Amino acid sequence: MKLLTFAALVAGAALAASGAAAQDAEAGAKLYLHHCATCHGLDATGHGPMAGVLVIQPTNLKTLSGTDGVFPTARVVKRIDGRDPLVSHGSPMPVYGPYFEGQDTAIKTDQGQPILTSKPIVDLVAYLKTLQGS
């Protein structure tokens, strides 16, 4: 019985590390509206109601993939969770890593490497990917 339980745990960990955790863009859209739209705008173009008071203007999140069409997953994850801080209006962009802690999962970067983050950030990234080129 213990061997079966151990095997199930190993299989579950391998699944999470492979980036196979389900990404829920709909849940990500709700998170975006609650946490991001104030600065980045409802349309994600960087023209939210707070944009005018920021020293560094919010990014147009519809153009994250750039001309090469590759979504910068690692950079986006690290910007959201605070591993790659951005100073705006004298303080870092709001860091949501602590808010989203406790639901660890992995997501694959554009180079195919897994990066550990949380399920809400995985969902938010899934939503941001749907906005590219729109």
Q: What is the pTM of this model?
A: 0.77
pLDDT digits (tens, 9 = 90+) for 41-77: 999 999 999 988 888 888 999 999 988 999 999 999 9
Question: What integer pLDDT is reported at residue 24 of this predicted model?
Answer: 93
Highest mean pLDDT among 94-98, 110-114, 126-130: 126-130
Element (H, E) at 107: strand 104-108
Break the chain into its structural domains and give their ranges.
2-131
In the CATH scheme, what architecture does the domain 2-131 have? Orthogonal Bundle (1.10)
Using CA atoms, how far residue 127 sits from 8, 25, 29, in Å, is 30, 4, 6
